[in-house]
């Protein structure tokens, strides 16, 4: 039987060898490693990685970064370190070099797929995950994107005048969607969470970690909007939701997973349409009502 003093000494040494507690994460160092400033939501630090360098069109519409080119990574404290989840927007030629660098650094790839169809150039979305030292993971993500893609880490260029307006009846959209949207980069965005968020590695996948239904409206003139985003649903909700979308002539462009070990198992359904914004909002809301979303 070990002497109590020896046990205490060994325990103290083990504690001293563990990484800093979550509360001791120096987020300024994580910001510096990634070259970005986080948007903070509770304990989650989320970094936007928009592909502002790309000029993507779909059905003659110039896609704004906030509509479908908004890459991101988010960090949350976990077991004295941090977990990271993210969605990187890449061209086809960028997939392998970025993946290789991420894998070499110990990060994981959880999905690669399209979100939209017919876009020129075609864009793909690489979902990443990891657990460890947040500063090191941030540096690894920046290195992978800097060497394997043309993702910009420069701060947004200052523009004269007001932010781009959203030429839509946003009050009406809020009423139909039963949620308050946010204007970002000329796009009106909704993030509508599920009633009970999924869990990954015991952590709730909340809105900041990509655990919400994302619906984006980009004005295309005359009260019309291009819409895209993704719904987050369980397996039994997939077909009721896509039937509701198709009944309103909204294209279903992808059905797939973003994570590997979440509970319950979740699927992400991506979509596209360019039509009267109010009509589209009604169809989207009807589709949401086929799922277990938080009610407002």
| 13 occurs within a structural domain | no
Is 118 in the same domain as 186? no
Q: Average pLDDT, stretch 118-145?
A: 97
Q: Average pLDDT, stretch 89-106?
A: 98
The pLDDT score that the predictor gives to residue 8 is 35
Q: Look up residue 87 and give its two tokens.
A: 């969605």
Q: Residue 21 pLDDT > 60, yes or no?
A: no
DSSP 126-150: EEEEEEE-HHHHHHHHHHHHHHHS-
Is 144 in the same domain as 177? no
| 238 occurs within a structural domain | yes
Instruction: Report in angstroms the alpha-carbon separations of 286 from 1, 131, 211, 268, 277.
Output: 66, 37, 20, 17, 14
Is 103 in the same domain as 135? yes
Question: How much is the mean pLDDT over the chain?
Answer: 89
- The phi, psi pair for 121, rounded to 5°, reads -70, 160
Is 97 in the same domain as 176? no
| 242 occurs within a structural domain | yes
Give the 3-state secondary structure of residue 80. Answer: coil
What pLDDT band is residue 200 in, cutting at 50, 70 and 90? confident
Is 98 in the same domain as 211? no
The pLDDT score that the predictor gives to residue 158 is 54
Is 34 in the same domain as 131? yes
Is 185 in the same domain as 242? yes
Instruction: Report in angstroms the alpha-carbon separations of 45 from 64, 102, 142, 160, 250.
Output: 24, 20, 16, 29, 33
Boundary (domain end) residue, out of 148, 179, 204: 148
Distance, in Å, from the CA atom of 38 to the CA atom of 31, rounded to the nearest integer, reads 7
CATH value at residue 223? 3.30.70
Digit-coded pLDDT (tens) for 34-47: 999 999 999 999 99
Distance, in Å, from the CA atom of 43 to the CA atom of 203, rounded to the nearest integer, reads 12
> Is residue 22 exposed (0-12), middle (13-18) or buried (19+ Cβ within 10 Å)?
middle
CB 189 within 8 A of CB 174: no
Q: Residue 195 pLDDT > 70, yes or no?
A: yes
Is 199 in the same domain as 266? yes
Digit-coded pLDDT (tens) for 214-228: 999 999 999 999 999
| 293 occurs within a structural domain | no
Q: Average pLDDT, stretch 254-276?
A: 94
| 270 occurs within a structural domain | yes
| 82 occurs within a structural domain | yes
Q: Average pLDDT, stretch 147-176?
A: 83
Is 176 in the same domain as 138? no
Q: Average pLDDT, stretch 85-103?
A: 98
Q: Average pLDDT, stretch 170-176?
A: 98
Is 204 in the same domain as 260? yes
In DSSP terms, 129 is beta-bridged to 85, 108
The pLDDT score that the predictor gives to residue 198 is 87
Distance, in Å, from the CA atom of 230 to the CA atom of 180, rounded to the nearest integer, reads 17
Domain range for 67: 21-148
Is 122 in the same domain as 204? no
Q: Average pLDDT, stretch 63-73?
A: 96
The pLDDT score that the predictor gives to residue 140 is 98
Q: Average pLDDT, stretch 160-164?
A: 63
Q: Residue 1 pLDDT > 60, yes or no?
A: no
Question: How many domains would you assign to the chain?
Answer: 2
In DSSP terms, 191 is beta-bridged to 214
Helices 27-34 & 134-148 angle (0-180, nearest 10)? 10
Is 137 in the same domain as 204? no
């Amino acid at each position: 039987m070990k002497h109590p003093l020896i046990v205490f000494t060994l325990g103290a040494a083990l504690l001293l060898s563990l990484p800093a507690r979550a509360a001791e994460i120096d987020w300024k160092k994580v910001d510096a490693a990634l070259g970005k400033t986080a948007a903070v939501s509770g304990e989650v630090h989320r970094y936007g990685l928009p592909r502002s360098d790309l000029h993507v069109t779909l059905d003659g519409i110039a896609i704004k970064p906030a509509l479908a080119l908004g890459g991101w990574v988010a960090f949350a404290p976990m077991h004295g370190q941090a977990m990271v989840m993210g969605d990187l927007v890449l061209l086809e030629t960028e997939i392998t070099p970025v993946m290789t660098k991420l894998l070499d650094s110990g990060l994981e790839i959880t999905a690669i797929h399209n979100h939209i169809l017919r876009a020129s150039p075609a864009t793909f979305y690489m979902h990443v995950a990891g657990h460890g030292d947040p500063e090191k993971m941030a540096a690894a993500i920046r290195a992978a994107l800097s060497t394997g893609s043309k993702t910009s880490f420069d701060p947004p260029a200052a523009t004269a005048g007001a932010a781009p307006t959203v030429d839509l009846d946003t009050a009406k959209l809020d009423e139909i969607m039963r949620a308050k949207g946010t204007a970002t980069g000329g796009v009106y965005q909704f993030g509508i969470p599920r009633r009970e968020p999924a869990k990954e590695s015991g952590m709730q996948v909340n809105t900041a970690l990509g655990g919400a239904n994302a619906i984006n409206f980009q004005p295309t003139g005359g009260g019309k909007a291009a819409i895209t985003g993704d719904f987050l649903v369980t397996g039994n909700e997939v077909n009721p939701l896509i039937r509701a979308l198709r009944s309103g002539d909204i294209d279903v462009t992808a059905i797939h997973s973003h994570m590997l070990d979440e509970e319950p198992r979740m699927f992400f359904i991506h979509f596209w349409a360019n039509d009267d914004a109010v009509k589209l909002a009604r169809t989207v809301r009807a589709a949401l009502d086929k799922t277990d979303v938080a009610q407002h």
